[in-house]
Amino acid sequence: MSTKSKGNITSPILIEACKDAFKKLNPKLMARNPVMFVVEIGFVMTLLLSIFPSLFGGESNRGYNLTVSFILVLTILFANFAEALAEGRGKAQADSLKKTKQDTKAKVIQKDGSIKVVDAADLRKGDIVLVEANDFIPSDGDIIEGVASVDESAITGESATVIKESGGDFSSVTGGTKVISDYIKVKVSSDPGESFLDRMISLVEGAKRQKTPNELALSTLLVGLTLIFLLVCTTLVPIASYINVNLPTATLVALLVCLIPTTIGGLLSAIGIAGMDRVTQFNVIAKSGKAVEAAGDINTIILDKTGTITLGNRMAFSLLPVKGVTQKELNTFAAYSSMHDETPEGRSVVEFVVKAGAVKEGLKKEGSEGVEFTAESRMSGTDLADGTKVRKGAVDAIKKYILQQGGKVPIDLENISDEVASLGGTPLAVAEGTRILGVIYLKDTVKPGMKERFNELRKMGIKTVMCTGDNPLTAATIAKEAGVDDYIAEAKPEDKIRVIKREQAEGKLVAMTGDGTNDAPALAQADVGLAMNTGTHAAKEAANMVDLDSDPTKIIEIVAIGKQLLMTRGALTTFSIANDVAKYFAIIPAMFMVAIPEMKALNIMDLDTPQSAILAALIFNAIIIPLLIPLAMKGVNYVPMNASKLLTKNLFIYGLGGVIVPFIGIKAIDLILVLMGIA
Which active-site residues does the annotation give? Answer: 304
Q: Which of 240, 268, 204 is nearest to 575 (CA)?
A: 268
3-state secondary structure labels for all residues of 42-99: HHHHHHHHHHCCCCCCCCCCHHHHHHHHHHHHHHHHHHHHHHHHHHHHHHHHHHHHHC
Known binder of ligand: residue 341? yes
Residue 58, C-beta contacts closer than 8 angstroms, at least 6 positions apart: 246
Q: 258 and 71 in contact (C-beta within 8 Å)?
A: no
What is the Cα–Cα distance from 583 to 102, expressed in whole angstroms?
A: 56
Q: 79 and 37 in contact (C-beta within 8 Å)?
A: no
Residue 273, C-beta contacts closer than 8 angstroms, at least 6 positions apart: 83, 86, 87, 90, 206, 209
Q: Which of 524, 530, 471 is nearest to 501 (CA)?
A: 524
3-state secondary structure labels for all residues of 108-120: EECCCCCEEEEEH
Known binder of ligand: residue 375? yes
Q: 71 and 619 in contact (C-beta within 8 Å)?
A: yes
Known binder of ligand: residue 392? yes
What is the Cα–Cα distance from 673 to 615, expressed in whole angstroms?
A: 9
Kindly report each contact of residues 226-230 with a partner whose C-beta sits within 8 Å and lies 24 or more positions away, as own/partner: 226/34, 226/35, 226/38, 226/260, 226/261, 226/265, 229/256, 229/259, 229/260, 230/38, 230/256, 230/260
Known binder of ligand: residue 50? no
- The DSSP call for residue 602 is G
Known binder of ligand: residue 378? yes
Cβ neighbours around 99 below 10 Å, total: 10
Q: Is 329 exposed, middle or buried (0-12, 13-18, 19+ CB in 10 A)?
A: middle
Known binder of ligand: residue 132? no
- The DSSP call for residue 360 is T
Known binder of ligand: residue 199? no
Known binder of ligand: residue 379? yes
- The DSSP call for residue 511 is E
Known binder of ligand: residue 62? no
Helices 213-242 and 249-259: angle between axes, nearest 10 degrees: 150
Strand partners, 132: 183
Known binder of ligand: residue 377? yes
What is the Cα–Cα distance from 158 to 13, expressed in whole angstroms?
A: 24
Which helix or strand (DSSP H or E) is residue 522 part of? helix 520-525
Known binder of ligand: residue 495? no
Known binder of ligand: residue 667? no
Known binder of ligand: residue 142? no
SS3 155: helix
E strand intervals along 485-627: 486-488, 510-514, 528-532, 545-547
- The DSSP call for residue 517 is G
- Binding residues, by number, are 341, 345, 373-380, 392, 515, 519
- Binding residues for Mg(2+), by number, are 515, 519
